[in-house]
Chain A
Amino acid sequence: MMQSWLKLTWVETKLFIREPGVYFGLAFPLAFLLIYGSIYGNTPSAFFNGRGPLDVYMPAYIVMVIAANAFFALPIAIVNYRERGILFRLQATPLRPLNILSAQIGANFLMTTAESLLLVVLGVVFYQVHVTSAIFGVLLAYVLGILSIFSLGFLLASVVSNVRVATFAAVLLFLAAFYLSGMTIPLKIYPAVVQQIAQFLPMTHAVTLLQELWSGASWSSHWADVLILFGLLVVCMLASSKLFRWR
């Protein structure tokens, strides 16, 4: 069973690489890094408490990579597979349903991680971005963030019936991530009600948690973000398990 799961995950990863449209997940954050990097550089500024702007925003761009794959690549692939009977054909084998679906998540996890690493490497090479010294904590927060945001994308795949609706919903969710999670625009500038709405998005807490841990903050001061990310993960997975359709 493990062997078939690994094989399916590997095949799905190869298919991901062959799909030209999904490089959006990398292209958008990469464009942001290059544009903002070329305008502001990474010179420490008083506005960021003596840190470079890209040092602060690198973790946010990683969440942008996660969101792009969570809302575009993952659900659109699953909905397409369902619409065309690809899932149904896989279901007619001894594979367990959980293996089929978790292979999709595995492939997207691998690609998101590869894209995030590339983004960090480019940031270091071009703009001398400081890589966090708390690597273990950041990785753990990254895994929690990715699972929580992917579960929202998976819920999207469970409730929509065709690729066109999935694409529309993906754009809305990505725009919410882009504007309301603090990954580009500081949340402080919004009215209180918008800030409250933003608290329901896993992206907001992933951005906060990754930014803070990246800059050396401790877990104990951010247990609320951890709890909310975990809670949203559980809620989305439970809802998906009720709503998911194979065809």
Chain B
Amino acid sequence: MRPVIQVEHLRKVYGPLVAVDDISFEVHTGEIFGMVGPNGAGKTSTVECVEGLRPHSSGTLRVLGYNPQKDRYALRAHIGVQLQESALQDRLKVWEALDLYASFYPRSIDQAELLELVGLSEKRNTRFAKLSGGQKQRLFIALALIHDPEVVFLDELTTGLDPQARRMMWEMVRAMRERGKTVFLITHLMEEAERLCDRVAIVDHGRLVALDTPEHLISGLGAESQVIFTVDGSPELEPLRVLPEVRHVQQVEDRVILSGNNGSDTLLSSVVQALPTSGIRYRDIRTQRATLDDVFLQLTGRAIRD
């Protein structure tokens, strides 16, 4: 597949602060590419350099064959963006926003159809300030799609939305891929990346720590399933660590997380058998399928936080 975005050794510094530290990756045509990581990891700085909205400090960037700094205006006609922190004029009506933004581009798609697609047909005469959070986000999606761009950038699309609105957003993003668009999605929600993305780049402290499909990242843990229980204090976990079925033991605050060896389906029973003689006082024991959260935890040693 042809890469639509090529990033090589990208660095972005703000004075003494290194926001993006030598990140390289490619985004392919027609995929949903996710960049995940905690707040402040450098995700937004990375994507704003790629969009040509911020100058980068060093490295090589190529988007649809354009240099995002030198050819920024030409590039902007081909990309759609939803920004993390932005707004429209309070008294601007929905139809006026579409009409206005359509005029900025050489070509645009049918506005009525677009409103239908994002479910805002009945709100076309509503002012921006009167829209709910989810409706505002859907309007921003409509503005990002109005000129039928090849690549769409979505930065924290579902932050602050309720679960129902969030699922509706996910359906919209999948619909974009079906229309042949390449989607670059930024999120701090691991679940969102896991459900939506074809490939995921995990970023922490300005560095790329992993890049693969969600399935590969999770199976790379070597633990399809995990056993988790709650403890008080910091008990000695060695009796569990030596079990042949257990590959990895980790305590995060009051939770102990045990990952099994690949293909081991006796993890739970061997842990339950070993616990009474281990002297560990435990409660609330359960199994869980491994998620991208566990991948992040293992790669960085920290749990990701909202």
Contact = CB atoms under 8 A, between A and B. Distances in A.
Chain A interface residue number, banded: 20 to 34
Contacts of A166: none
Interface in B62-102: 73-74, 76-77, 81, 83, 85-89, 91-92, 96, 99-101
A8 interface: yes
A93 B91 contact: no
A215 to B, nearest CB: 41
Interface in B222-260: none
Contact of B91 (A19, A89, A91): A19
Given A15-B91, A19-B91, A94 B77 contact: yes
Of B81, B86, B91, most A-chain CB atoms within 10 Å: B86
Contacts, number: 57
A28 interface: no
B103 A89 contact: no
A11 B92 contact: yes
Interface in A86-130: 86, 88-89, 91-96
B100 A7 contact: yes
A84 B87 CA distance: 6
B83 A89 contact: yes
A4 B104 contact: yes
Contact of A85 (B51, B85, B91, B92): B85
Main SS class of interface, A: helix
B141 to A, nearest CB: 13
B104 A89 contact: no
Contact of B100 (A8, A19, A88): A8
A85 B103 contact: no
B275 interface: no
B175 interface: no
Contact of A86 (B73, B86, B103): B86
Contact of B103 (A4, A19, A84, A96): A4
Given A86-B87, A86-B88, 8 more contacts: A18-B91, A92-B51, A92-B53, A92-B83, A92-B86, A93-B105, A94-B73, A94-B77
Chain B interface residue number, banded: 20 to 34
A15 B100 contact: no
Given A94-B73, A94-B76, A89 B88 contact: yes
Contact of A15 (B53, B74, B76, B92): B92
Of B77, B89, B92, B101, most A-chain CB atoms within 10 Å: B89
Q: Which 3 A-B pairs have the closest CB atoms?
A: A85-B86, A89-B86, A7-B103
A3 interface: yes
Contacts of A244: none
Contacts of B74: 94
A128 to B, nearest CB: 38
Contacts of A96: 73
A174 interface: no
A183 to B, nearest CB: 31
Interface string A73-90: 000000001001110110
25 contacts: A4-B103, A7-B103, A8-B100, A11-B89, A14-B96, A15-B92, A18-B91, A84-B86, A85-B85, A86-B87, A86-B89, A88-B83, A88-B85, A89-B86, A89-B87, A89-B88, A89-B143, A92-B81, A92-B86, A93-B101, A94-B73, A94-B74, A94-B76, A94-B105, A95-B104
Interface in A115-159: none
Contacts of A92: 51, 53, 76, 81, 83, 86
Interface string A1-29: 00110011001001100110000000000
Of A15, A18, A94, A96, most B-chain CB atoms within 10 Å: A94
A81 to B, nearest CB: 7
A93 B85 contact: no
A107 B279 CA distance: 76
B77 to A, nearest CB: 5
Contacts of A85: 83, 85-87
Interface string B45-64: 00000010100000000000
Given A18-B91, A85-B85, A3 B103 contact: yes
Interface string A49-88: 0000000000000000000000000000000010011101
Given A11-B92, A15-B92, A94 B104 contact: yes
Interface in B259-276: none
Contacts of A15: 89, 91-92
A86 B104 CA distance: 15
A91 B53 contact: yes
Contacts of B87: 84-86, 89
